[in-house]
Chains A and B, each alone.
Chain A
């Protein structure tokens, strides 16, 4: 098992290398550059040329890339051009925000999705099943930013039930330990912070969680339906096992295997949705960093971010593979 994990991790290195190079070339082939974006409306060609020279952007691409790789090996990802802060500290600030949001979205999707999918399968063809299937179609089809906008307009602006954006009410005093607001609030017993952070989390988590929710419902439903038709379920029923035992030991356990794959894939895809959700809800996480980075052609930030995203994706895939082993003993034997 350990050797398997190590081998998988080592396999990541060439992937990241190739990716970083493609990324480097691609970023710099985009029209417009950081100097133009950073200097704003008052930029003159002289100022742009001067800044490009200062930044070393007038050198050949391979020289720049070589220097970049050299710096990365010393752990230096450089500073963001837009904020002048080290990219590493930007990431350290933004990562908890995105993880908190993604975790909440995923939790929302799983906690709601698996029971809905299961019930839908059990009541196949009924009113509940049909409406669930239609709802999931809608859920997948609605663009994230539109859903976010509508939820915000209804629940924050019109009804005033929830805050429209941000992670916490502006100006609220709060002790920062890990950067995870809810966790920090619990650790310091600042219950008003915890409550405030949860209220801020609800709308974006629903927005971001809607697509994974719909996907999980459908996969669970299909998978449960498959399992219900299996011989061993019929056998179990025939030999008079209690319905509850059949449900938990035979049906759900076997049905969850494809569901866990889906959850893993959805977790990897969350970042894409997070870019839009974070923009709508002014979340200040990785998604916001990425969006602003592209807008400002912030090369150092984008390079670091995309490498981190790629690494995350690879790690999530690894976790999914490992979770197979936990759910299905046969995988462990192989």
Chain B
């Protein structure tokens, strides 16, 4: 399917350059100041309006130049020198240069106000603390300073090496805004009234970047963003005059909309609709899977503290069968907790091939033959890594029952208690969860899950935590790769805090007259290359 879509790419010829390209997303953007956001729906319009210093090469998670043509990391990893692209202008006409880059870095670091800082999820994740921390969870700042050596050279200094940098700078959150516009529209004025926030007019009406499309208007009631072509864009100009991003929450409604021809591109079509859409002449672009679904096992339960029991559970699940029947085409059984494209993926980890007899004997050896486990699964939701939670639950539960484990099913609505019960209260014995990676770094997966103690797993091994922290703090790329390979081997073979289940590819679908869309594993699509034939 992917191959067939690929061969059609770029052969569509010229489209109508006055066309309006309409895209259906799944939710409303929160606002248009990328630094305050962390969700795909807010990033979708931001990716068209802004550029980052470094970006992901279209269709991959590999780094490539964007606003910076070159970046050099000092041997100790504490200094990154960016050589900037020349001749770039912000959409308000002001010049893009090293001073503008430093203005952005300093702005993020110096952001004040609890409202502002609690919204800067990715900043806090990547750079830890702020000049003045306002929340307890912020740590010591990693960012030290930014110096504009000359117009086209910006040097970012760090207090300590951080493995995720510079890859994390591809995050849309770190888009470069026009300093003039930031000042003019009072961008830092995030205020809190009662139990809620309000953002400045920069974030709601005047986002200004260097990207291929300019912001025109946003209709909040319907969640519709209208962008127009930026004729001064430094790169290849956008192929359509207008870009409209609509919010259509349900999969069925998005599919109907594409079939009716009222939108040109829909995100996340339901896997069971892929074939039907293709048979009607639409194209389904399957993104490379950059995610993981796992079965968490909570070691707060003393029985699950025993490695043999956790291994028994891993052997008991027929993952090949599960992935073949319950996941979309292109899904793979996961061997470890990150996709194979990431540096640090280990090829030779312990395999838990389907073996119910072995599972039974391990359970018997651990004295856990009469095990009863509370198995949580979410309702009212599908995720890109988890197309049908109930079906996946049912299949795994049947496998576990077959080896003599009694399952007490607990279904909870996603926002109505599931995440709270799992991630905060730790009420479950077993649960389904996963996520889609943010950028090309192993820590973003294994560190996020197993870098420290969490109620989700009840996993308390200090050596493991230290091992992951050491890998993240290793500035030598080859050494870091080897460290993470060891981490992955140990996580699967020695600790097994969860069973990796699958990597499954989410899709994006287009109408037949649309060409040039490059699907991204990070859902990081930029639409300026897309043509629409009338």
Residues of A at under 8 Å CB distance from B? 30-33, 36-37, 39-51, 53-57, 64, 67-68, 71, 76, 78-86, 89-90, 93-94, 97, 149, 152-153, 156-157, 160, 163-167, 169-171, 279-280, 282-285, 288, 292, 295-297, 299-300
A47–B196 CB distance below 8 A: no
| A32: chain B residues within 8 A (beta carbon) | 413, 415-420
Binding-face segment, B221-229, B400-408, B518-526: B221-229
- Beyond A279-B249, A297-B415, whether A57 also contacts B121 by CB under 8 A is no
B196–A55 CB distance below 8 A: yes
A76–B194 CB distance below 8 A: yes
Selected A-B contacts with CB under 8 Å, 6 pairs: A31-B416, A43-B423, A85-B220, A156-B262, A164-B260, A279-B249
A93–B220 CB distance below 8 A: yes
Decide if B256 is an interface residue (CB 8 Å cutoff).
yes
Interface string of B417-449 (1 = CB under 8 A from A): 111110110000000000110100000000010
B30–A42 CB distance below 8 A: no
| B246: chain A residues within 8 A (beta carbon) | 166, 170, 282
- What is the CA–CA distance of A288 and B114 in the complex, to the nearest angstrom? 30
B194–A68 CB distance below 8 A: yes
Within the complex, the shortest CB–CB distance from A29 to chain B, in Å, comes to 12
Interface string of B124-143 (1 = CB under 8 A from A): 11000000000111000000
- Beyond A43-B423, A78-B196, A282-B248, whether A53 also contacts B135 by CB under 8 A is yes
Decide if B253 is an interface residue (CB 8 Å cutoff).
yes
State the interface size on chain B (CB cutoff 8 A).
Answer: 66
Decide if B198 is an interface residue (CB 8 Å cutoff).
yes
- What is the CA–CA distance of A153 and B260 in the complex, to the nearest angstrom? 9
| B199: chain A residues within 8 A (beta carbon) | 84
A-B contact count (CB 8 A): 180
- Beyond A164-B257, A171-B20, A285-B221, whether A42 also contacts B195 by CB under 8 A is no
In this complex, what residue of B is CB-closest to A81? B196
Decide if B22 is an interface residue (CB 8 Å cutoff).
yes
In addition to A43-B423, A50-B118, 20 A-B residue pairs with Cβ atoms within 8 Å of each other are A32-B415, A32-B419, A33-B420, A42-B38, A47-B124, A50-B137, A71-B193, A82-B30, A85-B204, A86-B198, A157-B259, A165-B248, A165-B253, A166-B224, A170-B22, A170-B244, A170-B262, A279-B250, A284-B222, A288-B221
- Beyond A32-B416, A300-B196, whether A47 also contacts B121 by CB under 8 A is yes
Decide if B263 is an interface residue (CB 8 Å cutoff).
yes
Decide if B192 is an interface residue (CB 8 Å cutoff).
yes
Which residues 194-230 of B have a CB within 8 angstroms of A?
Answer: 194-199, 204, 219-224, 226
In this complex, what residue of A is CB-closest to B21? A171
Which residues 221-267 of B have a CB within 8 angstroms of A?
Answer: 221-224, 226, 242, 244, 246-250, 252-253, 256-257, 259-263
- What is the CA–CA distance of A46 and B448 in the complex, to the nearest angstrom? 13
- What is the CA–CA distance of A153 and B259 in the complex, to the nearest angstrom? 9
Which residues 11-45 of B have a CB within 8 angstroms of A?
Answer: 20, 22, 28, 30-31, 38-39
| A170: chain B residues within 8 A (beta carbon) | 20, 22, 224, 226, 244, 246, 262-263
B420–A36 CB distance below 8 A: yes
Decide if B149 is an interface residue (CB 8 Å cutoff).
no
Decide if B412 is an interface residue (CB 8 Å cutoff).
yes
Within the complex, the shortest CB–CB distance from B494 to chain A, in Å, comes to 24
Partner of A79, one of B197, B224, B423: B197
| B38: chain A residues within 8 A (beta carbon) | 39-40, 42
Residues of B at under 8 Å CB distance from A? 20, 22, 28, 30-31, 38-39, 114-115, 118, 121, 124-125, 135-137, 192-199, 204, 219-224, 226, 242, 244, 246-250, 252-253, 256-257, 259-263, 383, 412-413, 415-421, 423-424, 435-436, 438, 448, 454-455
B221–A97 CB distance below 8 A: yes
Within the complex, the shortest CB–CB distance from A179 to chain B, in Å, comes to 8
- Beyond A41-B435, A170-B22, A170-B224, whether A54 also contacts B114 by CB under 8 A is yes
Q: What are the 8 tightest A-B residue pairs by CB atom distance, in nearest-first order?
A: A31-B417, A284-B222, A79-B196, A46-B137, A93-B221, A284-B221, A37-B415, A50-B135
- What is the CA–CA distance of A283 and B249 in the complex, to the nearest angstrom? 11
B30–A83 CB distance below 8 A: yes
A79–B193 CB distance below 8 A: yes
- What is the CA–CA distance of A295 and B247 in the complex, to the nearest angstrom? 15
B30–A84 CB distance below 8 A: yes
- Beyond A43-B419, A157-B256, A171-B22, whether A67 also contacts B194 by CB under 8 A is yes
- Beyond A81-B195, A93-B221, A282-B222, whether A156 also contacts B256 by CB under 8 A is yes
- Beyond A50-B136, A83-B28, A171-B244, whether A78 also contacts B223 by CB under 8 A is no
A167–B222 CB distance below 8 A: yes
B221–A94 CB distance below 8 A: yes
| A53: chain B residues within 8 A (beta carbon) | 114, 135-136
Within the complex, the shortest CB–CB distance from B129 to chain A, in Å, comes to 13
B455–A45 CB distance below 8 A: yes
- What is the CA–CA distance of A256 and B192 in the complex, to the nearest angstrom? 52
B256–A153 CB distance below 8 A: yes
- Beyond A36-B420, A78-B194, whether A42 also contacts B22 by CB under 8 A is no
Within the complex, the shortest CB–CB distance from A3 to chain B, in Å, comes to 37
- What is the CA–CA distance of A84 and B261 in the complex, to the nearest angstrom? 32
In this complex, what residue of B is CB-closest to A37? B415
Within the complex, the shortest CB–CB distance from A44 to chain B, in Å, comes to 7
Within the complex, the shortest CB–CB distance from B471 to chain A, in Å, comes to 20
Partner of B415, one of A166, A169, A295: A295
Partner of B416, one of A30, A40, A42, A292: A30
- What is the CA–CA distance of A37 and B244 in the complex, to the nearest angstrom? 26
In this complex, what residue of B is CB-closest to A36? B419
